[in-house]
Amino acid sequence: MAAVLEIEGLQKTYRSRRRGTRRALDGFDMRVEAGQVHGFLGPNGSGKTTTLRTLLGLIRPNGGRMAILGQEVPAALPRVARQVGAIVESPQFFPHFSARDTLSLLTGAGGVPERRVTEVLELVGLRERAKDRVKTYSLGMKQRLAVASALLKEPKLLILDEPANGLDPGGIREMRTLMRNLSASGMTVVLSSHILGEVQLICDSVTIISLGRRVAFGPVSAVLAQHSGGGLRVRLEAVTDLPVAADLLTRSGVRVTPQDDHLLVYGVDKPSAVTRTLAGADLFVSELAPVEVDLESVFLELTGTAPVPGQHRQVDQSVVLGERTGSAPSDSAAGGWGV
């Protein structure tokens, strides 16, 4: 599959006299395939905005390479800029202008045909309110107007930094529908977000960044599968038998985490070994199912540990088989910590 966006070994260190030196990106890698909705996730201060701003030529990196639609940036930005729509900061609109006037102003400035105004208003679901003043819009409508402005050029790649920030559940749902419609039209969307449930619903693939380094990437389903830990949820016909079952399974060499009404069992080669061990002691399994994880638990597992000065989580838990696996040192591939 063709990469619409490629970042390799990106480095960015901020230096200021007052705040000293701060390494925001520490050899960061990212790859987004054509036609995907790609979630870009990371805790506050992990380097998402720095990455997006660097990609758009707003910040100068200290090292690494970046390409958009196969063209090296920032050198090729003047050529590819027309094919990239981006919102990396909350756009400000004239409150007394309508959405239509706002977009018409932008088409005039950007050499975009006027017919695009009606098209993008339709796309973002603002056609009915297009003549109303922006000051009467909800936050969700303003966000969709921002997306509309980024869509005017008919970009191939749309980059959105926190498009659902501050939205209520209704606004989030509208934004979700919009992302799905854009994806269905063939556009590649890169979406930075803290709303992990949404990302899991909307995105085909994700990159997780922590302390300026990629700690996971790949199709959402593969990232989840990789972090399920191969665990099994085991229920018994009689809850009172759980302690005995836990003891038996532990002695058989697997790891057991007892829960209120079931056991979580890890390190099992074959699920049938669990049923056999328990049946041998007249304990009968009523449920044996893989442990399902969500993106939030994976995110917390990979990024939730407090940063240690001088240390970075070095693991690149890449799951796109056959792709390059990033710049993480091979000796840390088992999920440990490196310096």
Ligand X SMILES: Nc1ncnc2c1ncn2[C@@H]1O[C@H](COP(=O)(O)OP(=O)(O)OP(=O)(O)O)[C@@H](O)[C@H]1O
Footprint on this chain of ligand X (rule: CB under 6 A): 14, 16, 19, 22, 24, 42, 44-50
Q: Which lies closer to ligand X via its Cβ, residue 49 or residue 277? A: 49
Q: Which lies closer to ligand X via its Cβ, residue 12 or residue 129? A: 12
Q: Which lies closer to ligand X via its Cβ, residue 124 or residue 198? A: 198
Q: Which lies closer to ligand X via its Cβ, residue 42 or residue 140? A: 42
Of 35, 140, 152, 161, nearest in space to 85 by CA = 152
Q: What is the DSSP secondary-structure string of 88-110?
A: -SPPP--TTSBHHHHHHHHHHHH
Gyration radius of the chain over CA positions: 24
Q: Give me the amino acid identity at 48.
A: K
For residue 91, cis peptide bond before it (omega within 30 degrees of 0): no
Assigned token pair, 210: 């922590």
Shortest spacing between CB 143 and ligand X, in angstroms: 16
Q: Which lies closer to ligand X via its Cβ, residue 38 or residue 48? A: 48
Shortest spacing between CB 338 and ligand X, in angstroms: 20
3-state secondary structure of 232: strand
Please calculate the CA angle 89-91-92 and round it to the nearest 5 degrees: 135
Torsion of CA 74, 78, 83, 85, to 10 degrees: 70
Shortest spacing between CB 40 and ligand X, in angstroms: 9
Shortest spacing between CB 42 and ligand X, in angstroms: 5
Q: Which lies closer to ligand X via its Cβ, residue 123 or residue 298? A: 298
Shortest spacing between CB 49 and ligand X, in angstroms: 3
Shortest spacing between CB 9 and ligand X, in angstroms: 17
DSSP state of 312: B
Residue with tokens 């000796």: 331
